[in-house]
């Protein structure tokens, strides 16, 4: 059962007051809708790739016809070697073009209806308040003060990494950052030479209403992300399509979340 109100903590981990929890946290957790929305976001980053439409066709090769004890595949004039053909022979000729190659015009973005997308965000938000779901993702939740974890707006103005670390220690989030840091691994295969050498897990997500320095202060911590509440998407709240990310909400972000989504619940 979702709580009606939630405790707000200061950066020292002390409870200061209670606030009414937005109705969006009572949304049902729909893993199927969340998965569709996350895949839609990810597909927008795919790079189209395909073959040259005229690949293998820039040649004067023609068939020599019948009566020569040779197959009727197109051959390069003066050389006798087979080359790319057209039509039915295009994909069977030695040295010819690929039959039915990938095309750059192919639609690779997976679209999703706006109502489904917004339902997925609400569902992923609700999952952040479920301690069992958060723990099932692999996050360390033993020291976390509350679910959902809401702090005063001072968190948005932290300008130093040392201040963010101190706040994480008081709020019980630092152990999860260390978990991500200890789990960084070198990728196997050719990806090492293609700009993705390391594999890194996901740690806490900080949701704010306005950036007053926290983005730069927190960006060096492995696995930690900062997001504006009005720009939230399903992938940030449920990386890898798995709902229940460990999330820290600022007080003003929680209020704006209520104004954005509560009317739809």
Task: Tell me: do 187 and 88 sit in the same domain.
Answer: no
- Which helix H or strand E contains 227, and what residues bound it? strand 225-228
In this structure, are 66 and 141 located in the same domain? no
CA atoms of 98 and 37, how far apart (whole Å): 34
Look at the block and give the residue holding tokens 């152990």: 175
- Say which CATH number the domain at 121 has: 3.40.1370.10
Domain-terminating residue out of 77, 92, 107: 107
Those residues whose C-beta lies under 8 Å from the C-beta of residue 142, and which sit 6 or more positions away, are 172, 175
Looking at the structure, do residues 42 and 117 belong to the same domain, yes or no? Answer: yes
Q: 97 and 123 in one domain?
A: no
* Residue pLDDT, tens place only, 39-92: 999 999 999 999 888 877 777 777 888 998 888 877 777 776 666 555 445 556
19 and 147, same structural domain?
Answer: yes
The span from the CA of 125 to the CA of 174, in Å, is 22
| Predicted local distance difference test score (pLDDT) of residue 224 | 98
Choose one of 58, 92, 107: the last residue of a domain: 107
Give the helix ranges, DSSP H, for the chain: 31-43, 114-127, 131-136, 161-171, 174-182, 214-218, 234-237, 251-261
205-250 per-position pLDDT tens digit: 999 999 999 999 999 999 999 999 999 999 999 999 999 999 999 9
Beta bridge partners of 250: 151
Same domain, 155 and 237: yes
| 24 and 95 within one domain | no
Decide: 213 and 159 in contact? Cβ < 8 Å: yes
* Contact partners, residue 118, CB within 8 Å, separation at least 6: 261, 264
Determine the pLDDT at residue 83: 65
Domain match, 187 and 117 both:
yes
State whether 138 and 257 are in the same domain: yes
- Residue 265: pLDDT band by 50, 70, 90 thresholds? confident
Show the tokens assigned to 250.
Answer: 């600022």
- Average pLDDT for 146-160: 96
Q: Among 47-61, 116-130, 137-151, 180-194, name the one with the lowest average pLDDT.
A: 47-61
Q: How many domains does the chain have?
A: 2
Mean pLDDT in the chain? 91
Q: What is the largest CA-CA distance in the chain?
A: 96
Cα(80)–Cα(218) distance, rounded to whole angstroms? 66
User: Is 102 in the same domain as 213?
Assistant: no
In a shared domain, residues 40 and 146: yes
Same domain as 158, residue 40 = yes
Q: How far is the C-alpha of 222 from the C-alpha of 204, rounded, in Å?
A: 10
Distance, in Å, from the CA atom of 74 to the CA atom of 191, rounded to the nearest integer, reads 40
Q: Which of 57, 90, 107 is the endpoint of a domain?
A: 107
Peptide bond into 148 cis (omega under 30): yes
263, 27 Cβ separation under 8 angstroms: no
Instruction: Provide the domain limits for residue 33.
Output: 5-46+111-264
């Amino acid at each position: 059962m979702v709580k009606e109100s939630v405790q707000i903590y200061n950066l020292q981990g002390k409870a200061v007051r209670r606030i009414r929890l937005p109705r969006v946290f009572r949304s049902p957790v729909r893993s199927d809708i969340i998965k569709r929305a996350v895949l839609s976001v990810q597909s927008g980053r795919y790079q189209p790739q395909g073959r040259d439409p005229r690949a293998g066709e820039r040649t004067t090769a023609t068939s020599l016809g019948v009566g020569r004890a040779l197959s009727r595949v197109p051959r390069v004039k003066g050389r006798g070697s087979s080359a790319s053909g057209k039509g039915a022979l295009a994909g069977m000729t030695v040295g010819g073009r690929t039959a039915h190659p990938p095309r750059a015009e192919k639609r690779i973005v997976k679209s999703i209806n706006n109502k489904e997308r917004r339902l997925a965000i609400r569902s992923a938000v609700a999952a952040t308040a479920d301690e069992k779901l958060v723990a099932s993702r692999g996050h360390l939740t033993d020291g976390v003060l509350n679910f959902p974890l809401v702090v005063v707006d001072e968190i948005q103005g932290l300008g130093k990494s040392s201040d963010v670390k101190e706040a994480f220690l008081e709020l019980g989030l630092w152990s999860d950052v260390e978990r991500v840091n200890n789990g960084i691994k070198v990728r196997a295969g050719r990806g090492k030479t293609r700009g993705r050498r390391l594999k890194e897990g996901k740690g806490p997500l900080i949701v704010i209403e306005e950036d007053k320095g926290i983005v730069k202060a927190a960006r060096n911590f492995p696995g930690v992300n900062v997001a504006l509440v009005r720009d939230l998407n399903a992938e940030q709240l449920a990386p890898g399509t798995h709902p229940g990310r460990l999330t820290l909400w600022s007080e003003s972000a929680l209020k704006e979340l209520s104004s954005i989504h509560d009317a739809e619940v």
